[in-house]
Structure 1
Amino acid sequence: MKRAVILFLLLFFYRADAQTPARFSIDDVLSAPYCSNLTAGSDHVVWVSTTEGVRNVYVYTPTSNKTRKLTSQTVDDGQDFSEFCFSPDGRQLAYVRGSGKNREGVSPNPTSNPAGAEQAVYVVAVDGNGQPRRIGAGSHPTFSPSENQLLFMQGGQVMVADLVTNQTKRNGQNNSVPTKLFSARGFLSDANWSPDGSSVLFVSNRGYHNLIGVYRLAERTITWLAPDVDRDKTPVWSPDGKRVAFLRQPGQRHGELENIMGGNRFAVWVADVATGEGRELWHSPADDGGFAQYYPAEPLRWTAANQLLFFSEHQGWMHVYALSPDSPGQPRNVTGNADGSSHYEAEETCLSPDGKTLYFSANNPANDTLDIDRRHIWRVSTDGSGKPELLTPGTGIETDPVLVGDRLFYRSAGWNRSTGIAYRKLGEPRETTLFPQPADFDAQRFPTAALVEPKQVILKAADGTTVHAQLFLPPPSRQTSAARHPGLIFLHGGPMRQMLLGWHYRGSYYANAYAMNQYLASQGYVVLSVNFRAGIGYGRAFRRADKQGPRGASEYQDVLAGAKYLQNRADVDPLRIGLWGGSYGGYLTAMGLARNSDLFAAGVDLHGVHDWSWRGNMFSPGGGWGIGEADMKVAFESSPNHNLDFWRSPCLFVHGDDDRNVTFAETVDLVQKLRARNVPTEVLIFPDDVHSFLLHKNWVKTYKALDVFFGKYLLASDRSSTATK
């Protein structure tokens, strides 16, 4: 393996020295494998590798030093692999294939397959012997401690499959029909076996309130744990199976609307399984709950060292806190610095088997101020005896740590390499690249030597808000002393996202956007990726900034700050600045063209929100942003649709018409209104694809259309100014 990695690097260095490439294609920069869903078992790690849309599952066994491919996909059908779960002995792997249903009960079918598409649970032998076996339609699989049964969720009910009967069938199909384990009111979720396999823990979602129940298999009875008028969630077993910890937030009030940018009070509770009686251990001082309880993969843990670990933002930044389940008191910040300077976010985590060491990814700038715009892996003792220790220094992006024996595995990327899998032996500083190896993709095609290292830029908005951005400059071969370049501002979606100084870790949606910004720089654009307020990485106050979105669009000031920065650069033509972005970034792109066609010469809007007031009424009650009747006037005034009479600049609109995040009608409506005003518009529509396009070819089509569009309106624009400062 070491020799292969050395040869891989030599290949790149030779290519760079021999050819010094400055240009590459969109296909080239999107050609590298992208690895996701890293999951650990007792002696294995598994992940998904996606190469130009073709998804496959790989497993690595440290003791044998072998990597196996467990699936044999050869085409991009848009169906994801996710929710990996190893059997206790590590010999079997359960996973989910496909995506969940929309409100009409239909799973995404981006290829328009006449047979339809489904989300289903599969089981496969980790040793690679045999084909994956379909267990049944559903999601969230989990093995029983005996490994004879598999729980999974189907349509809000708990299903169980007999794996012994299923294994006797050799045709690759499930001939043992899964059955509903029990009946209970509500939409059930979070089903999990007790440590001894005698009971199943679950949540019953009942609208205004949630209940947590324990189903005993032998007695066929349900015990409700501390039932109340609240919404209880994320239950976890104690190591001995006698107690359950969970998070409690207030129940819903009449007329209360969901607002993902808001917050709620929450409390940590523990209940006795035998009696159902519970007690509160600690509650947040204010509306500190919400984001920190759904963004991390495991918001609450009960450790082998008998500690409760949970995420919270109650001190202004998202961190992991420790609390004793036996003696209530104030929680201790585990992932924060000992001196209290914890102005960074802790994200994904894993625990050592004894529960005494926590590994976590964070953007802690203590070692390097640029790391606020990166991610690295840290570790810390959970007992408070030491301070966080940086394990992966440098300029990379390392996330999603998992532990197998004496090896720490994680997802690893850089400013010139896509996200792969790497590991370090504990106590050793050297990183070993596990995947991809040179044979795993066309290394000569991917333009490593031609990419540019983005630079950190810090902006000041008109109201004084500090905003971070990443600057992609054209390579030296595209720079001249006389000519000015067109400028582009990229705006991420979410808005709870943060673009980084390297390949993005949060799914191919943002990884592709980073790759496209690299491509645009190679074509001669000066690209500024702006991390506007409402995003993550800079604390709760930044994420929950006042008057954002439908309540005043305060983040648009950050877009204008980016425009001012580009206008003041000597290498940028101030008359040739464009905007592009998707989802929330599409909203801000449309906002820029509607309010300031004098500043922005063109834009590309991927599935953006265009009318907050319409979304508040039609998408769902409140539109997910808590937009009530009293908010409608301001919501409309905070929308691109409010300023259409000032919109002059051309725009390319891109949307999949099975979008489950931003209704396709948003684009239909706005394009019709702009056409009526003779505003130059172009459209690219993908029938049956969703918000985050599931087909790689649709991303390629989108980016090639964007390239042509900006080439027409910015590279060859009549607005061009050749004057120099």
Structure 2
Amino acid sequence: MPDSLSIADVLDVDYPGTPAWSADGAYVAAPVYEDDGQPLRIALVDDDDAVSEEPWRFAPEEGYVADFAWGPDPMPARLAVLSDEGELFLLNARLHTVERISGDVDADDVAWTSDGRWIAAYRDGQPCVFDLENGDDERFDVPERGTYLGEERMLAFGPADRLLAFRFVDHEAKQVGVVDTDSGELVWRSRTPASTHSPAWADEGTLLFDRASDHGRVREVVAVDVDDGASRVLHREEEEEHGVASLGGFSVSPNGDRVAMALPLDGWEHVHVVDVATGERRQLTAGAFEDKGLASSVPQWLDADTLVFASNREDHGVRGIYAVAGVGPDAEPEVRELVTGGTNVHPRPAPDGDALAYVHASGERSPELRVASLDETGPAEPTRLTESVVDDWPVDPIEPEHVSWEGVGGFTINGYLLDPRESPNVADDATDLPAVVWVHGGPMRQMRDGWHPSRSYGLAYAVQQYLAHEGYVGLFVNYRGGIGYGRAFREALFGNRGDHEMDDVARGADFLRELPYVGDDVGMWGLSYGGYAALQLLGTHPEAYDVAVNLAGLADLELYRDWAEETKYPTVASAQVRRFDGEPWEATEHWEQASPRTHFEHYENPLYSFHGTGDRYVNFEQLDVVVEELLELGKDHEWEYYPDENHVFSKRVTWERALEKIETAFDEHLR
């Protein structure tokens, strides 16, 4: 009897996050989601960019690592680490020591002064600084951070260490302020009705930030002189009909004279730089491909003249890492290849530019944290700072096959197929096999040709591998609205949500049934927007799937909008109203047709639902709607709520239970 893959094997896979280098380039650290938590892995990298000792694993006694930041040049081996339980730690990577600084901070962001004496974090929603020299701390009496979700960058010290920029909420919008840490005075703040966030300093007097307004119609990058309040718009995008399409923030050059962004202005996401002094924008890359690894990715500075970025220029389903030199106005941009093969994201150059840390994944290997030396000829053989456990699986993963079909409007819908006949557990000539489709969330995501680098979709890929070894044909669908295939493909979802993209997914089931070795029985499952697809498709395309599994999906879009604009993002930054052609009372039919609850009465096949009550991305009351209305209609529905669980369940025991239920559902209805 051949060896079998188990759910335990699936859940044993680790998922490293974005790496960061110490100021002296001696260490690389990254959060790594493993089993029941997210510790920090810290590796000592020698002069040959090899790991010279076993990486140090730090995990708080309670909770997981929520954020971290390396200390500056005066103390490069030290890290400030935040836990989701409100603890602030000071780690010494060289001595492997841990000092608990505070137990009552907010798990948002942490920042250092350039001299290494002060650390900033939020406490009770307000910025607070901790003096590492004498042990004092001070919380500033300024407007509070508010309920909206945080950004990657929320706190930033000015170059002279006196001014601290922070994000807060006022006038029902995100705002940015600057507090003088010597006097405690609020010296500048934004007061516009726009949503302002992600502060960064160009120099001691010039603060940069992102700004969205008019229901997502306008996006701007702004520079302000905090002394006199004078502001300049460095970059502006405006899209009247459906709102601005660009995603991700900006990065500031080492000398503060330019910002870099990935923008879809020519129809594809490409690297652009904007001069802080003049506002002149320059596009550095071009072509029918996207220079972005993930939806929120931002180009990173290798040096003052060179940027590194992930790109799918070789194949839309993977990502290589590239560098573009010549950012100045008189230079000719020159792109060179750094890393290829599989999906490579989160590139982070070492401080001296001689090495690159990044996350790698492929069809053969689950995500790994890697480091590669750089020279003029390209990278050397990479060093693995974490290693894929797939090497220890009892069977090899099945290699995905790229497939496609035509969608509404002539769009090509791409997907990846797992053929179980490649497994030693399934006969080569097997026929009438059941099939399962995975639908990603977002919708601005993309499944890859192999493991996805993030935990949300990497875990789904691993589960589909397990199901394939159990005899299920697997399919991943990259429906319209996702990244990777150009702006027109992403915007093809605008104005018809719940309609054309659902047809893309339904045609995926048709594609499977036309394969000679697939039977009539096809199921589907999805998370977030994929859960929404499960709820919508059973009502709008009841013939497509014989069973559907909803993980944290939306049932009522108006209910979600009202909740999200109180807890996730401001109304002025949300383009939902534009993309539905009006408010719910103005475009009633559009909102209703896009909401699965409208179609519950048409359900013919069973639904299984799972949701965590601690979800910060989709309100768990959405499942209340599903449960109450399907009970009243007498539809076939089983469901479970998980107390305090988040959007992507964090506990192994939760996944063990949910996946057992999901597999049982597929076995019952598809075999």
Fold shared, TM-score > 0.5 on shorter chain:
yes
Partner of 2:457 in structure 1?
A: 510
For residues 464-493 of structure 1, the C-alpha deviation after alignment (integer angstroms, 9 at most, x for no partner) is 222111111113341443621112221111
In 1, Cα distance between equivalents of 2:390 and 2:485: 37
Q: Hey, what does 2:71 align to over in structure 1?
A: 86
Q: Using the alignment, how far apart are the partners of 2:113 and 2:650 within structure 1?
A: 32
Find the aligned partners of 2:507 and 2:88 in 1 and give their Cα distance: 48
Match of 1:271 in 2: 224
Change in CA separation of 1:78 and 1:682 when aligned onto 2, cut-off 3 Å:
farther
1:317 aligns to what SS in structure 2?
A: coil
Compute the RMSD of aligned alpha carbons. 3.0
Question: In the alignment, is residue 301 of structure 1 matched against residue 255 of structure 2?
Answer: no
Gaps of 5+ in 1: 1-18, 99-117, 167-175, 253-257, 366-370, 716-725
Q: What does residue range 498-577 of structure 1 map to in structure 2 within 5 Å?
A: 498-506=446-454, 508-546=455-493, 551-573=497-519, 575-577=520-522
Deviation at 1:377, TM superposition (A): 0.9
Query: Given the superposition, is the C-alpha separation of residues 22 and 475 from structure 1 closer, same or farther in structure 2, using an over 3 Å criterion?
Result: farther
From the superposition, tell whether residues 624 and 659 of structure 1 become closer, same or farther in structure 2 (CA, over 3 Å): farther
Question: Structure 1 691/241 Cα, relative in aligned 2: closer, same or farther at 3 Å?
Answer: same
Moved more, 55-64 or 143-152: 55-64
Q: Partners in 2 of 1:658 and 1:326 — Cα distance? A: 45
Kept in 2, the 8 Å contact 1:456–1:471? The answer is yes
Q: Mapping of 1:449-464 within 5 angstroms?
A: 449-464=395-410
The answer for the alignment partner of 1:436 in structure 2 is 386
Contact 2:22/2:77 (8 A) holds in 1: no
Task: Spell out the pairing of 1:12-91 with structure 2 (5 A cutoff).
Answer: 23-42=4-23, 43=25, 44-63=27-46, 65-67=51-53, 69-71=55-57, 73=59, 79-88=64-73, 89-91=75-77
Is 1:155 matched up with 2:155?
A: no
In structure 2, relative to structure 1, the CA distance for the partners of 1:678 and 1:209 (3 Å cut) is closer
Cα distance in 2 between the residues matched to 1:213 and 1:675: 49
Tell me, in whole angstroms, the C-alpha distance in 1 between the residues paired with 2:217 and 2:156.
Answer: 26
Query: Is 1:280 matched with 2:242?
Result: no
Aligned equivalents of 2:616, 2:182: Cα separation in 1: 41
Retained in 1: the 8 A contact 2:250–2:259? no
TM-score where L is the length of structure 1: 0.80
Is the alpha carbon distance of 1:545 and 1:351 closer, same or farther for their aligned partners in structure 2, counting shifts above 3 Å? closer
TM-score by length of 2: 0.86
Q: Following the alignment from structure 1 to structure 2, what is the Cα–Cα distance between the partners of residues 119 and 656?
A: 21
Cα 1:165/1:674, change in 2 over 3 Å: same
Which residue, 349, 369, 374 being the options, matches 1:426?
374
Deviation at 1:451, TM superposition (A): 0.9
Given the alignment of the two structures, is residue 332 of structure 1 paired with residue 282 of structure 2, yes or no? yes
- Give 1:205's match in structure 2, choosing from 158, 169, 188: 169
1:127 to 86, 94, 97: 94
2:311 maps to what in 1?
362
Match of 2:580 in 1: none
Question: Bigger shift: 518-527 or 208-217?
Answer: 208-217
Q: How far apart, in 1, do the equivalents of 2:482 and 2:540 lie?
A: 22
State the partner residue of 1:663. 619
Deviations along 1:390-440, one digit per CA (max 9) or x if unpaired, are: 21122x1111111224111111111122111112111254332323358xx
Q: CA deviation at 1:505?
A: 1.6
- Residue 481 of structure 2 aligns with an amino acid whose one-letter code is A
How big is each residue's C-alpha offset from its partner over 1:70-99, in whole Å with a ceiling of 9 and x where there is no partner?
Answer: 555499x7634434343433121012211x
User: Does 1:145 find its partner at 2:98?
Assistant: no
Structure 1 residues 398 and 547, CA gap change in structure 2 (3 angstroms): closer
Counterpart of 1:388 in structure 2: which amino acid?
Answer: V
Cross-structure match for 1:318:
269
- Deviation, 1:442, is 8.9
TM-aligned CA deviation for residue 672 of structure 1: 3.6
CA 1:642–1:198 in 2, change beyond 3 Å: closer, same or farther?
closer
Secondary structure of the 1:588 match is helix
Higher alpha-carbon deviation: 515-524 or 356-365: 356-365
Are the structure 2 counterparts of residues 271 and 23 from structure 1 closer, same or farther at C-alpha, using a change threshold of 3 Å? same
User: Cα distance 1:235–1:660, how it changes in 2: closer, same or farther (>3 A)?
Assistant: closer
Which structure has the larger Rg over C-alpha atoms?
A: 1
Distance 2:495 2:437 in 1: 19
What amino acid is aligned across from residue 97 of structure 2 in structure 1? G
Q: Which stretch has the larger CA shift, 54-63 or 137-146?
A: 54-63
Q: 1:193 aligns with which of 146, 157, 174?
A: 157
Q: Is the 8 A contact 2:42 2:93 kept in 1?
A: yes
Say if 1:56 and 1:443 are closer, same or farther in 2 by CA, change over 3 A. farther
| Distance of 1:503 and 1:468 partners within structure 2 | 16
**Does the Cα contact within 8 Å between 1:226 and 1:278 map onto a contact in 2?**
no
What letter matches 1:55 in structure 2?
Answer: Q
Distance 1:74 1:124 in 2: 11
* Distance in 2 separating the partners of 1:686 and 1:182: 37
CA distance in 1, matches of 2:257, 2:271: 15
Structure-2 separation of matches of 1:223 and 1:498 = 43
List gaps (5 residues or longer) in structure 2. Answer: 578-582
TM-superposed CA distance for 1:364, in Å, is 1.9
Over the matched positions of the two proteins, sequence identity in percent amounts to 24
The residue identity in structure 2 corresponding to 1:582 is: L
Contact 1:71 1:132 in 2 (8 A): no
Q: How far is the alpha carbon of 1:648 from its aligned partner?
A: 1.9
- Residue 271 of structure 1 aligns with an amino acid whose one-letter code is V
Asked whether the 8 Å contact 1:590–1:640 carries over to 2, the reply is yes
**AA paired with 1:315?**
D
Question: Which residue identity does 2:257 align to in structure 1?
Answer: N
Which amino acid is the alignment partner of residue 86 of structure 1? G
Preserved contact between residue 211 and residue 224 of structure 1 (Cα < 8 Å): no
Tell me the residue number matched to 1:710: 666
Residue of structure 2 equivalent to 1:242: 205
Q: Give, in whole Å, the separation in 1 of the partners of 2:603 and 2:322.
A: 48
Quote the offset at 1:220 in angstroms. Answer: 5.0
Measure the CA separation in 1 of the matches of 2:212 and 2:547. Answer: 45
Inter-CA distance 660–248: structure 2 relative to 1 (3 Å threshold): closer
CA shift, 1:52, in A, is 2.1
Alignment length (residue pairs): 635
In structure 2, C-alpha distance between the alignment counterparts of 1:226 and 1:615, rounded to whole Å: 28
Code of the aligned partner of 2:118 = Q
Q: Deviations over 1:37-63 (max 9, x none)?
A: 311222221012333224322212223
Please give the alpha-carbon distance, in whole angstroms, between the structure 2 residues aligned to 1:289 and 1:244: 26
SS of 2:266's equivalent?
coil
Any idea what SS the aligned residue of 1:55 has? coil
> Following TM superposition, by how much is the alpha carbon of 1:352 offset from its aligned partner in structure 2, in angstroms?
4.6
Partner of 1:603: 548
